[in-house]
Amino acid sequence: MTKADIVNEISKTTGIEKVAVQATVEAFMESIKNSVVGGKNVYLRGFGSFVVKKRAEKTARNISKNVTIKIPEHFIPSFKPSKSFVTEVKGKVKK
């Protein structure tokens, strides 16, 4: 499902114009992104959490040059679904 599909689905369900729904979805995503970039976690009860994870410094290898490189400590965004979300997916998604 793409962002356009989400906008279409919300527009059909609520009866709100697609332009307004798209602006709302864009603002929602921008708000989450700005919070995570600012180091704040975002918790959406019943859906999940957007959190900032810290990756420790590590040593890696550049195989093509056969050189050891050092990857510095850094932060990455991560999503952790809520228990109710996971349970619902486990119960309803079929192969």
Report the candidate in 81, 86, 77, 93 with the shortest Cα–Cα distance to residue 35.
Answer: 77
Judge whether residue 95 has pLDDT over 80: no
Partners of 49 in the beta sheet?
Answer: 43, 80
pLDDT single digits (tens) 14-70: 999 999 999 999 999 999 999 999 999 999 999 999 999 999 999 999 999 989 999
CB neighbourhood size of 43 (10 A): 12
